[in-house]
Amino acid sequence: MNEKQENILGIPVDILTMSDIKKDLLTYFEENKKMTLTSVNPQIILMAETNEKVKTFIKESTHKIPDGIGIVKVSKWTKGKIKNRVAGIEVMHEALNFANEHQKRIFLLGAKPEVAKLATENIAKEFPDLSVAGWIDGYSKMNDYDIVSKMNQAKADMVFVAMGSPKQEEWLMDNMPMLNATVYQTVGGSLDVISGTVKRAPDFFIKTNLEWLYRSCVNPKRFYRIFQLPVFVIKALNWHRKNGEQ
């Protein structure tokens, strides 16, 4: 196992900060290498136990973002080195900043049509120097071949996939090899937030690392996630006891 990674329930998670990501964005563009940023949180790790595609996607991603307080806590309790949560939506914001500074072309895939449209408009307003190469909602009937062709024809440099897990990870696993963009990020419900349709948790919840709890309480579809966290913690601590440093 690489020194900049930790193994949690058999899934690698990177020990990284936002400034590492900022530096790497430049390097990957300079070296013309594909960069995949994926959020790893307790829910996704539990999903990866039974979904091989999600597991492989995470393992093959260049940046496995520790995006959950459950990850940070398990790392601490197993004497690991992941000290801070890096929120996927904040990584997306940095990536958009980068696109703005370097006049890159971005493409969005996911969310409901009106949400994706609003998110695109808000991004264009906030980051006037990047180009929105295109967007496709996450319920479109277009087939993957046509979506890939559209992204390539639009000369997208950065692709953000916002279809929730496991759909977004599976989509990138299947289609990334055919795409010409440099940066790929799975961004879950971020377009809902950027569009203004869904609010991020109040600051208190973000600062106290309880954003997941707030979002689980206000969204009935997420309520079951409250129970996933203790399951994840118990499984991860047991796994560590059996497998130790890997």
For ligand UDP, the binding residues (CB under 6 A) are 110-112, 138-139, 162-165, 167, 188-189, 191-192
Q: Which is nearer to ligand UDP, 163 or 173 (CB)?
A: 163
Q: How far is the CB of 241 from ligand UDP (least distance, A)?
A: 29
Q: What is the DSSP letter of 178?
A: G
Which two three-digit tokens encode residue 67? 């995006």
Q: How far is the CB of 210 from ligand UDP (least distance, A)?
A: 16
With CB atoms as reference, the residue minimizing the distance to ligand UDP is: 138
Q: Which is nearer to ligand UDP, 78 or 175 (CB)?
A: 175
Residues facing 185 on adjacent strands: 37, 160
Pick from 146, 168, 159: nearest CA to 105 = 159
Q: Which is nearer to ligand UDP, 157 or 192 (CB)?
A: 192
Q: How far is the CB of 112 from ligand UDP (least distance, A)?
A: 5
Q: Which is nearer to ligand UDP, 10 or 164 (CB)?
A: 164
Q: How far is the CB of 89 from ligand UDP (least distance, A)?
A: 9
Q: How far is the CB of 244 from ligand UDP (least distance, A)?
A: 31
Q: Which is nearer to ligand UDP, 163 or 240 (CB)?
A: 163
CB proximity list for 20: less than 8 A, separation 6 or greater: none
Judge whether 91 and 65 are in contact, CB under 8 Å: yes
The residue with tokens 């998670």 is 13
3-state secondary structure of 83: coil
Judge whether 99 and 106 are in contact, CB under 8 Å: yes
The residue with tokens 């996911």 is 110
